[in-house]
Amino acid sequence: MGKDGPMNIVMLLYPRLTQLDLTGPFEVFTRLPDVKIILAAKSLDPVTDSGGLRLLPTHTLAEAPQADILFVPGGPGQLHLMDDAVTLDFLRAQAVAARYVTSVCTGSLVLAAAGLLTGYRATCHWMSLDQLALFGCTPSSERVVVDGNRVTGGGVTSGIDFALQLAALLFDQDRAERTQLSMEYNPAPPFSSGHPNSADPAMVEAMRARASGLQQKRWEAARTAAARLGLAVSSDKNS
């Protein structure tokens, strides 16, 4: 629990996020005791995710309480948050007293742009993982990475794994396992193409080619954000 009541889990909402980055962890968190979930956005207007799903914030950034757990999802809209001063300042302010600073998918790039992952190990969606190195962060291809009070999950579906591991840190393994059982979280994917290490290499390259335009923009945004933080930009990927 938080110091004066339930534990505040502050989850950032922004246009064109990937809803499963958010709703996977959200489902786990709702099954935990003594937590309050805050969906924080710039305004209380509905936020539309990258697929058209509309989500309702519960608080504005200005009104959000101090987070015990600060969480950032990823998605195509992450690109525009990399130089969004209001959002980055909100994350920096919240992170100071947060027990855990966390993300899923390209949400870690937003944390990195706020200077909150420098010196830490972290993960990200596999297509964007290397961009973390621009921020003095050590990229890891693990599905969930815990480094001190930084907890990051890989791409999209890893959000459930991330949240269950965080639940074990917050409570204990028994609570996390009971939560997993209550959700019947027993993955048995029909194909083995869910990660570049197991997918057909030709498929991986085709996916990279199809996403090359967005990835080029992400590299440019990451370099700009890293330079703004005064970090050395040495990677020549996608230059």
Residues with a known catalytic role: 105
From residue 163, alpha-carbon distances to 68, 167, 200 in Å are 14, 6, 29
Q: How far apart are CA 219 and CA 187, in angstroms?
A: 32
Tokens of 211: 């996403």
- The C-alpha atoms of residue 115 and residue 92 are separated, in whole angstroms, by 8
Q: Give the E-state strand segments of 2-160 in sequence order.
A: 7-12, 35-41, 47-48, 54-55, 59-60, 69-72, 100-104, 121-122, 138-139, 144-147, 150-153
Whole-angstrom Cα distance, residue 77 to residue 68? 25
E strand residue ranges, the chain:
7-12, 35-41, 47-48, 54-55, 59-60, 69-72, 100-104, 121-122, 138-139, 144-147, 150-153
- Helix, strand, coil shares of the chain, percent, nearest 5, are 40, 20, 45
Pair of tokens at residue 55: 């989500």
Determine how β-strand 121-122 pairs with β-strand 100-104.
Answer: unpaired
